[in-house]
């Protein structure tokens, strides 16, 4: 294992971290999320229109049912009217029939309003349903694009893991433990010595610390005396 191998391992791990970071932020994911939201919006318009139609339908049926009851009552009163002789009784029956007629007229108005409401609901439903197939198709297309992008990331990940396994196998158990420890502690556990400062902690090393680092054989990693990262020079 050389300093170069340490750095290479860190590069692979950083690439793997980058994939993990990129996956939920893929532009393809953001585009598909927007399409899913647009589809939900159209579906909710369809559902609202259907609910409007159903409510109007119920009102129409209720009005028709009530109108039927009124007609039955009126027929009965009209039959009674033919049999009564006393004018006061006839007047009372005629007044009841007039009340029923007024109620019936109100019901007819209610039914007409409900029919208008039903027609409006059907227009809404037609408008929303018309856009639905295109929105569904867009959503399916962006789902496929997203799946491709995720598959590409997964393939990149598999290849990086294979590269990492090969490289890590060439490390001694001790070097691997050193690397794993530094990575766990710092995320990016391998830093480079740039002139006299560490690229990990950005601290300048004193001349004595610098001598110590430079005393390590060339190509061998040492440790930053400031932060403890594996230091490559
Ligand atoms: Zn450092």
Span 71-93, mean pLDDT? 95
- Mark whether 114 and 225 lie in a shared domain: no
- Contact (CB, 8 A) for 7 and 220: no
- Mark whether 182 and 76 lie in a shared domain: no
- Mark whether 90 and 205 lie in a shared domain: no
CA–CA distance, 160 with 11 (Å, rounded to integer): 10
Ligand 1 centroid–CA 228 distance in Å is: 6
- Mark whether 115 and 218 lie in a shared domain: no
Ligand 1 centroid–CA 193 distance in Å is: 8
- Mark whether 143 and 216 lie in a shared domain: no
Taking only the tens place, the pLDDT of each residue in 85-104 is 999 999 999 999 999 999 99
- Mark whether 162 and 199 lie in a shared domain: no
pLDDT value, residue 218: 78
- Mark whether 77 and 109 lie in a shared domain: yes
pTM of the entire predicted model: 0.73
User: Structural domain of residue 80, as residue ranges?
Assistant: 23-170
- Mark whether 131 and 215 lie in a shared domain: no
pLDDT value, residue 150: 98
Ligand 1 centroid–CA 133 distance in Å is: 58
- Mark whether 46 and 145 lie in a shared domain: yes
Span 20-39, mean pLDDT? 97
What helix, strand, coil percent values describe the chain, rounded to 5? 80, 5, 15
- How many distinct structural domains can be found in the chain? 2
Ligand 1 centroid–CA 54 distance in Å is: 71
In a domain, 187, yes or no: yes
- Integer CA distances (angstroms), 39 to 123, 129, 135, 166, in order: 19, 11, 6, 46
Span 71-89, mean pLDDT? 95
* Confidence label for 138 from pLDDT (cuts 50, 70 and 90): very high
CA–CA distance, 37 with 176 (Å, rounded to integer): 46
In a domain, 31, yes or no: yes
Q: What is the dihedral of CA 76, 79, 81, 82, to 10 degrees?
A: 180
Using DSSP's 3-state secondary structure scheme, residue 222 falls into: strand
Ligand 1 centroid–CA 215 distance in Å is: 17
In a domain, 13, yes or no: no
CA–CA distance, 22 with 161 (Å, rounded to integer): 17
Ligand 1 centroid–CA 180 distance in Å is: 17
In this predicted structure, the answer to whether residue 1 has a pLDDT above a threshold of 70 is no
Name the average pLDDT for the chain: 95
pLDDT value, residue 147: 98
Domain boundary, last residue among 124, 152, 170? 170
- Mark whether 149 and 220 lie in a shared domain: no
- Mark whether 114 and 187 lie in a shared domain: no
CA–CA distance, 204 with 193 (Å, rounded to integer): 10
pLDDT value, residue 44: 97
In a domain, 220, yes or no: yes
Ligand 1 centroid–CA 171 distance in Å is: 23
In a domain, 15, yes or no: no
Domain boundary, last residue among 122, 138, 170? 170
In this predicted structure, the answer to whether residue 214 has a pLDDT above a threshold of 90 is no
**How big is the CA angle at 110 (ends 108 and 114), to the nearest 5 degrees?**
115
Taking only the tens place, the pLDDT of each residue in 30-71 is 999 999 999 999 999 999 999 999 999 999 999 999 999 999
In a domain, 1, yes or no: no
Taking only the tens place, the pLDDT of each residue in 163-187 is 999 999 999 999 999 999 999 999 9
Taking only the tens place, the pLDDT of each residue in 142-156 is 999 999 999 999 999
In a domain, 156, yes or no: yes
- Mark whether 123 and 181 lie in a shared domain: no
What CATH number should be reported for the domain holding residue 125? Answer: 1.10.287.620
């Amino acid at each position: 294992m050389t300093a170069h191998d340490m750095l290479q391992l860190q590069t692979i791990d950083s690439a793997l971290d980058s994939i993990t970071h990129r996956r939920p932020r893929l532009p393809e994911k953001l585009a598909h999320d927007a399409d899913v939201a647009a589809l939900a919006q159209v579906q909710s318009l369809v559902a609202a229109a259907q609910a409007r139609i159903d409510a109007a339908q119920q009102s129409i049926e209720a009005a028709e049912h009530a109108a039927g009851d009124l007609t039955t009552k009126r027929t009965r009163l009209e039959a009674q009217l033919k049999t009564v002789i006393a004018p006061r009784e006839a007047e009372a029956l005629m007044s009841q029939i007039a009340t029923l007629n007024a109620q019936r007229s109100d019901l007819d108005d209610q039914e007409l309003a409900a029919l208008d409401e039903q027609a409006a609901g059907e227009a809404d439903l037609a408008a929303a349903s018309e856009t639905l197939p295109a929105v569904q198709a867009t959503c399916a297309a962006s789902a496929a694009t997203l799946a491709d992008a995720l598959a590409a990331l997964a393939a990149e990940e598999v290849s990086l893991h294979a590269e990492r396994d090969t490289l890590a196998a060439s490390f001694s158990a001790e070097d691997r433990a050193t690397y794993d420890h530094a990575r766990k502690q710092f995320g990016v556990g391998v830093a480079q010595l740039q002139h006299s400062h560490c690229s990990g902690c950005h601290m300048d090393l004193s001349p004595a610390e610098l001598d110590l680092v430079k005393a390590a054989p060339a190509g061998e990693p040492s440790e930053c005396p400031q932060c403890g990262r594996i230091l490559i020079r």
